[in-house]
Amino acid sequence: MIKAILIFNNHGKPRLSKFYEHYSEDTEQQIIRETFHLVSKRDENVCNFLEGGMLIGGSENKLIYRHYATLYFVFCVDSSESELGILDLIQVFVETLDKCFENVCELDLIFHVDKVHNILAEMVMGGMVLETNMNEIITQVDAQNKMEKSETFIFQSPRQDR
Amino acid sequence: MPAPIRLRELIRTIRTARTQAEEREMIQKECAAIRSSFREEDNTYRCRNVAKLLYMHMLGYPAHFGQLECLKLIASQKFTDKRIGYLGAMLLLDERQDVHLLMTNCIKNDLNHSTQYVQGLALCTLGCMGSSEMCRDLAGEVEKLLKTSNSYLRKKAALCAVHVIRKVPELMEMFLPATKNLLSEKNHGVLHTSVVLLTEMCERSPDMLLHFRKLVPQLVRILKNLIMSGYSPEHDVSGISDPFLQVRILRLLRILGRSDDDSSEAMNDILAQVATNTETSKNVGNAILYETVLTIMDIKSESGLRVLAINILGRFLLNNDKNIRYVALTSLLKTVQTDHNAVQRHRSTIVDCLKDLDVSIKRRAMELSFALVNGNNIRGMMKELLYFLDSCDPEFKADCASGVFLAAEKYAPSKRWHIDTIMRVLTTAGSYVRDDSVPNLIQLITNSVEMHAYTVQRLYKALLDDISQQPLVQVSSWCIGEYGDLLVSGQCEEEEPIQVTEDEVLDVLEGLLVSNLSTPVTRGYSLTAIMKLSTRFSSVVSIYGSSIDVELQQRAVEYNALFKKYDHMRPALLERMPIMEKTASNGPTEIVQTNGETEPSVPDTKHPPLVTQPANQVTARSHDISVFTIDGSFFVTDDVLLNQWFNI
C-alpha cells in the first residue's frame, strides 16, 4: 500500500501532498519536512530507496523517490509494494503530467495543483494503484475537464477556472 | 462585497512574499475574506474559495473551517463543485470528525448518478477515506458497481471494495460472487485492480485462499498472453507488455502457490519462461524478474528453478544500476536462511558491496555478510568485516561491532583469535560499542583462563595509547583490577611480556579517575579496580574520597570504612572472581542497579532478598558478617554487595 505521495522542490516547499493514511495536520507538515531532510541529503548516484523517517513508520516503510530537475517525487510505501515497480509508476506519473501540461515544469504544478490531484486520482486510489496506462488516464482526465468546461457554459456563471 | 480572488491570483500573491511572516499575513487576510464569503452562503464562489483553502492547507495552514463547505459542494448539482468538494473531503476530513458521516447520503446518491464521472468521484472518495460506518452503509452499492460492464467504474469499484474489506473484514463474503468473472475482463485496468482485490482477499482469509486456488490456471494463461503477445502500443512500457499487471499477477501467484504443491507445479513452467525471456536492459524488465525471483523462492518450486532464481539475483548484484543491486541484496537477505549454500556462492560479490559508496547498499551488504558467516569462512569474513568497521560511517559502527562480537563468539577458531578480535573492535570502534557488550566481554574474558595474562597485557598497552573510548577503558580497568598481579609479574606466554611496576599500573588507574574523558561509570570501574589491587599488590592504596558524583563518593566512603573497620576481611572480599557461567539472562537483571556489571542470578537461600532492593535502599546489615562467605554457589559482585553492606 502507498502511504503517501509527496512532491516538493529543492528547497523543501511542498507542491503536492497526498496522504492515504490519516495523520493530523501538524504531523503531515512534519512528515513533509522530515522526508525532505532525508531525501535532500542523498547523492545523485546512489539508489532511490530509503528507510522511512520516524514519523511515517520508520523502517517498516520505504521512501522511493526520483529527482527531476527542481522537484522530488517521493512515494512512501510499505513492504507489500515492489520497489522497482513503484519507480516505474513514478515515471508513468511524470510522463502523464508531461502530456497533460505539455512540457511540464514546476510552475505548472504550482498553479494547477488541483489538476495534478485529479490526474493522481485516476492513477492511485486509496493507496493502491488504479490505472497505469498513460493514454487511458489522459482520456479520462480530459473528459472530466470537458464536463467542467461545459457546465461553465450551460450555467452562464462567472468563469470558475481557478 | 467584491468577488473573491481566483486561486491563480492568490498563488501569485503568495509567491511575492519574501519572508515567512509576510506569507502568513497574506494567508490570514485571505482566510478572513474566505470566512466572510462562506458566511454569505454564496453558491457561486464557494468552489473557488475551497480551492484556495486547499492550497493554503497544503502549505501548512489550518483549514478546518472549510469542512462543511466541502460537504455543501458535494451536494451541489454541478460537476465542478463536486470535484473540488470531494477533493476537499479527502484532504480535510477523516473519520475522527463526526462531520464526515453527513457525506454518506451524498455519496450514496452519487454512486447511482447517471454520469460515470460523478460515480467515479464518489467511489474514489469512499475508497480513500471511508470510515467503517460509511463502508457498512455503502458496501451494497459498491458491490453492484463491481458487476457493471463499464470498465471505468468496475476498476474503481474493485479498489473501493479493497478499502471496504480493510475497514470491515466481515463484509468480504459479500464480494465473493462478484469476483467470479473478474478475470475474464479484457480491460487491463480492471484486470489489474481485480488482481489487487483477489490478493487482498487471499491474504486476509485462508478460506478465500483455498477457494481462489482454482484460478491459478487462468492467471497463468493471462500471464502467458502478456509475454507472448506481440507489440501492443496500448500497454507497452519500454518494450514490455503491461509490466505492472505482470508484477501483480506474479505476486498473486506467489500467495496462491505458497504451501501448495499442485499450484506450485502448475506455475513452474511460466515462471521459468518469464525468468529466461524477460529483457533485462531496462528497469521494467528487472522489476518483473525481481518479482519472479521472489515468487520462485516462496512457493514449492523445484530445485532447478530455485538455483535459476539465485543466479538471477547474483547477476543483479553485478549490475551497474544501484537500485538493482539494492533490490538483489534485500532479496538475498530474505532467502539466506532457506537457501544458505546457494547464497554462499555469491559471498565475494556481497563482500565487495561493503565498499560501495551508497549507504543503503552498505547496510544491506553488512547484514547479509553477517548472515553468511560460518565456521569455514570466519577468518576471511572477519578480516573484511573488521576492515569495514574501520572505515564505515558512525551510524554503522554500533551494529557492526555487535555483529562482530556475536559472530566471533559463535565461530571463533581459537581463544587467542577471539581475544584479538575483541581487542581490535575495542580499539578501533571502542566508543560505539554498546553498553551491554561490556559485561558480556568481561564474562568471555574470565572464561578463557589461560589467556588472562595475555589479555590483561594487551589491554594495558591499549590503555597507555588511548583512554578516550569508554567501553575499552571499562573492560581494561576491570581486567587490570582482577589480573593486575599477572601483569606485574610478567607471566605472559603468548607474546613478549612487558616490564611494568605496581606503581605504574596504579598511576594509570588513578589517571583514569581524574581524567575529564572518563564518564562516572568508567570512574566507578577504575576505583573498584584500584581497590582490588590493594589486595594483590603489596603497597596500600589511598582512596579517592571526595567527588562530585554521588555514586563515586558513596563507593569511596564505603571502601574507606571497609578498610578502617574490617580490614581483616579485605583479602576475602576482594579475592579473584570465580568464572561466571553464562546463563540465559546474562545481562543486567533486576538485581543490578549499578553500572551494568554482570550478576548471574544465583540467589542463595541463606542470603535474604537484599539483592532485589535497589541499591539506594540499604538495610543496615553491617554486623551480620557471618553470612558473607564465598563458596562455590555464592557469587560475589564486587560493587553491589559492598555498597549494600556498609551503610554509612
Query: A1-154 adopts what CATH topology?
Result: Beta-Lactamase (3.30.450)
- Picking from A60, A57, A67, A58, the residue whose alpha carbon sits closest to that of residue A36 is A67
Q: Which three cell numbers stand for residue B184?
A: 475474464
Give the position of cell 533486576. B590
Amino acid residing at B222? I
Is B359 an interface residue toward A (CB < 8 Å)? Answer: yes
**Chain B contact set for A144 (CB, 8 A):** 79, 83, 117
Least confident segment among B169-178, B233-242, B569-578, B615-624: B615-624
Is A54 an interface residue toward B (CB < 8 Å)? Answer: no
**Chain A contact set for B189 (CB, 8 A):** 130-133, 136
Contacts of B315 (CB under 8 A, 6+ apart): B280
* Element (DSSP H or E) covering residue B236: strand B236-237
Q: Check whether B630 has a pLDDT greater than 60.
A: no
* Element (DSSP H or E) covering residue B389: helix B378-391
Q: Using DSSP, state whether A42 is helix, strand or coil.
A: coil
Q: Check whether A68 has a pLDDT greater than 60.
A: yes
Radius of gyration of chain B from its Cα atoms, rounded to whole angstroms? 36
Which three-class secondary structure string do you get for A78-122? CCCCCHHHHHHHHHHHHHHHHHHHCCCCHHHHHHCHHHHHHHHHC
Q: Which three cell numbers stand for residue B233?
A: 502500443
- List the single residue in B59, B79, B359 with the smallest CB-CB distance to A151: B79
What are B357-410's pLDDT values in tens digits?
888 888 889 989 998 888 888 888 888 888 888 888 888 888 888 888 888 888
Which B positions 117-156 lie with beta carbon below 8 A of chain A? 117, 120, 123-124, 127-129, 152, 155-156
Mutation site for A-interface testing, chosen from B14, B37, B128 by largest number of A Cβ within 10 Å? B128
Instruction: Give the per-residue pLDDT at A75.
Output: 95
Question: Nearest-CA distance from B127 to chain A in Å?
Answer: 5
Sign of the dihedral defined by the CA atoms of residues B578, B581, B582, B584, in that order: negative
Give the position of cell 551494568. B596
**Chain A contact set for B295 (CB, 8 A):** none
Percent with pLDDT over 70 in chain B: 86
Answer yes or no: do B78 and A158 touch at CB < 8 A. Answer: no
Give the position of cell 500497454. B235
Instruction: Give the per-residue pLDDT at A93.
Output: 95
Answer yes or no: do A157 and B15 touch at CB < 8 A. Answer: no
Answer yes or no: do A162 and B51 touch at CB < 8 A. Answer: yes
**Chain A contact set for B78 (CB, 8 A):** 151, 155
- What are the backbone angles phi and psi of residue A145, rounded to the nearest 5°? -65, -40
What are A103-149's pLDDT values in tens digits?
888 999 999 988 999 999 999 999 999 999 899 999 999 999 998 88
Percent with pLDDT over 90 in chain B: 20
Is A35 an interface residue toward B (CB < 8 Å)? Answer: no
Instruction: Give the per-residue pLDDT at B596.
Output: 35
Q: Check whether B461 has a pLDDT greater than 90.
A: no
Per-domain boundaries in chain A: 1-154
Residue B550 pLDDT class (50, 70, 90 cuts): confident
Query: Which residue would you say has higher pLDDT here, B530 or B124?
Result: B124
Mutation site for B-interface testing, chosen from A1, A27, A88 by largest number of B Cβ within 10 Å? A88
Report the alpha-carbon distance of residue A8 to residue A20 in Å, rounded. Answer: 17
Amino acid residing at A37? H
Q: Check whether B642 has a pLDDT greater than 70.
A: no
Instruction: Give the per-residue pLDDT at B617.
Output: 33
What are B563-581's pLDDT values in tens digits?
677 777 777 777 777 777 6
Is A156 an interface residue toward B (CB < 8 Å)? Answer: no
Instruction: Give the per-residue pLDDT at B28.
Output: 92
What is the residue-averaged pLDDT of chain B? 80
What are B132-162's pLDDT values in tens digits?
889 999 999 999 999 998 999 999 999 999 9
Contacts of B492 (CB under 8 A, 6+ apart): B453, B454, B457, B486, B498
Is B51 an interface residue toward A (CB < 8 Å)? Answer: yes
Is B334 an interface residue toward A (CB < 8 Å)? Answer: no
- Interface confidence, given as ipTM, is 0.84
What are A50-66's pLDDT values in tens digits?
887 777 777 788 899 99
* Element (DSSP H or E) covering residue B241: strand B240-241
Count of CB atoms situated within 10 Å of the CB of B447: 14
Q: Check whether B325 has a pLDDT greater than 60.
A: yes
* DSSP β-ladder status, A2-9 and A71-77: antiparallel
Question: Nearest-CA distance from B189 to chain A in Å?
Answer: 5
Answer yes or no: do B96 and A135 touch at CB < 8 A. Answer: no
Asked if B342 and B307 touch (Cβ cutoff 8 Å), the reply is yes
Report the alpha-carbon distance of residue B11 to residue B24 in Å, rounded. Answer: 13
- Picking from B16, B46, B13, B47, the residue whose alpha carbon sits closest to that of residue B30 is B13
Give the position of cell 469476483. B179
* DSSP β-ladder status, B236-237 and B240-241: antiparallel
Which B positions 281-320 lie with beta carbon below 8 A of chain A? 283-284, 286-287, 290-291
- Picking from A85, A80, A22, the residue whose alpha carbon sits closest to that of residue A56 is A22
Is B47 an interface residue toward A (CB < 8 Å)? Answer: yes
The beta-strand segments (E) located in chain A are: 2-9, 14-19, 49-51, 62-68, 71-77, 124-125, 128-129
- List the single residue in A14, A114, A129 with the smallest CB-CB distance to B51: A114
Between the alpha carbon of residue A100 and those of residues A93, A109, B96, the distances in Å are: 11, 11, 36
Alpha helices in B147-279 (DSSP H): 151-167, 188-204, 206-212, 216-228, 243-257, 261-277
**Chain B contact set for A22 (CB, 8 A):** 94-96, 129
What are A9-45's pLDDT values in tens digits?
999 999 999 999 888 888 889 999 999 999 998 888 8
Least confident segment among B30-44, B91-105, B187-201, B215-229: B91-105
Which B positions 470-489 lie with beta carbon below 8 A of chain A? none
Report the alpha-carbon distance of residue B447 to residue B13 in Å, rounded. Answer: 74
Question: Nearest-CA distance from B361 to chain A in Å?
Answer: 8
- Picking from B501, B550, B552, B500, the residue whose alpha carbon sits closest to that of residue B531 is B552
- Picking from B340, B349, B330, the residue whose alpha carbon sits closest to that of residue B373 is B340
Report the alpha-carbon distance of residue B283 to residue A83 in Å, rounded. Answer: 11
Q: Check whether B526 has a pLDDT greater than 70.
A: yes
What are B462-494's pLDDT values in tens digits?
888 877 888 888 888 888 888 887 877 777 777
What are B490-515's pLDDT values in tens digits?
777 777 777 777 778 878 887 887 78
- Picking from B612, B616, B595, the residue whose alpha carbon sits closest to that of residue B603 is B612
Measured between CA atoms, the residue of chain B closest to residue A85 is B287
